Amino acid sequence: MSNQASFSLVAAFSTSPFGGNPAAVIFLDPKNTPEDTLAGIARNVNQPMTAFIGPSQLSAENDTTAVYDIRYFAANGVEVSLCGHATLASAKVLFSQTGRASISVLQFHTPSEGVVAAKKVDGGLVEIEFPTGTTTKLSEEQKSRIIPLINKAFGREVVINYLGASGPPYEHALLIELDEKENLAECKVDAEAFRDTGYIINTVTTASSSGNESFVSRMFSPTMIPGGEDPVCGSAHCVLTPYWYQKQRIASGKSIKAKQVSVRGGDLLLTWDEAAKSIKLVGEAIVIGVGHLYF
């Protein structure tokens, strides 16, 4: 083992080391490192997502901006095109580094989805901007196939208000709105039941009963995530946000709160820009470990 890389473990969308969504942030050139090496490292660290970052050869626009290349790999070694919580985690690590006080904007260049921006905001928070995903209602034939899988996951018949599939760049995402009375946070869910839906991201959501946020959600991905449930999913919120803005008649540009009610849990501040077709996700993050990998 002649190679090594430094890494950080970060809990994104939380200030608790036992909350939010963990991600490994690894300083290893994502452009010039063999893909099988990146995939093998991701499997070794076994986090919900691993981000590999390295300085880009592209020039920054100004002295307050830094430019990086980034690639994302799930715990099973499969590369994904975008990941919200791993981007937030990467930004947290970079903004926290000594000598970077003047840097307020990060530009992450992805292999297939262009540039993802992250910036410092008040209170030590990080804002990332991702493209919007909009949903289309499933056909009756599709519903008849998927509804039994949802009921199997919950162990009973649940009240389903809406079933929709997202378009690019989240065409692998399914949105399921349940009735608010289902009490999503307290439900025991068999994540394995979602394996056969045909979607990687299976997001279940309801309106919030507490009044502290506009909506709550949980996300299940047994094909990609250890244990089957993702603690807090940024990409899922890029699909959820336009849906709830339209349903609750929230004006474009107004910020709202959302909560992912997994066991670890996480909080997000969201802003949908309908004209720009983008979502701004603001959240906290905490570094929970650092070290070196050898490979």
pLDDT at residue 101 is higher than 90: no
pLDDT at residue 99 is higher than 80: no
Does the N-terminal peptide bond of residue 231 adopt cis geometry, omega within 30 degrees of 0?
A: no
Q: Which residues pair with 277 in a beta bridge?
A: none
| Distance from C-alpha of 32 to C-alpha of 54, rounded to nearest angstrom | 10
> What are the tens digits of pLDDT across the range 104-135?
999 999 999 899 999 999 888 999 999 999 99
C-alpha 56 chain-centroid distance:
23
Instruction: Report the run of H or E that residue 20 belongs to, with start and end.
Output: none
Across the range 101-105, mean pLDDT stands at: 89
Mean pLDDT check: name the lowest of 42-51, 53-62, 170-179, 217-226. Answer: 53-62
Across the range 36-54, mean pLDDT stands at: 97
> What are the tens digits of pLDDT across the range 252-271?
999 999 999 999 999 999 99
Contacts of 41 (CB under 8 A, 6+ apart): 5, 26, 28, 50, 52, 73, 293, 295
> What are the tens digits of pLDDT across the range 198-230?
999 999 999 999 989 999 999 999 998 889 999
Query: What is the chain's alpha carbon radius of gyration, rounded to the nearest angstrom?
Result: 19
| Distance from C-alpha of 177 to C-alpha of 175, rounded to nearest angstrom | 7
pTM of the predicted model as reported, rounded to 2 decimal places: 0.91
Structural domains of the chain ordered from first start: 4-131+283-294 (3.10.310.10), 135-276 (3.10.310.10)
What local confidence, expressed as pLDDT, does residue 202 receive? 98
pLDDT at residue 1 is higher than 70: no
Average model confidence (pLDDT) across the chain: 95
**What are the DSSP calls for 166-198, one per residue?**
E-TT-TTEEEEEEPGGG-GGG----GGGGGGSS
Contacts of 90 (CB under 8 A, 6+ apart): 23, 25, 51, 53, 68, 70, 106, 108, 118
Q: For tokens 């992912």, what's the residue? A: 260
Instruction: Report the run of H or E that residue 213 belongs to, with start and end.
Output: none
Which spans in 23-162 are helix H?
35-45, 84-96, 140-154
Q: For tokens 């921006």, what's the residue? A: 117
Across the range 84-106, mean pLDDT stands at: 91
Across the range 142-151, mean pLDDT stands at: 98
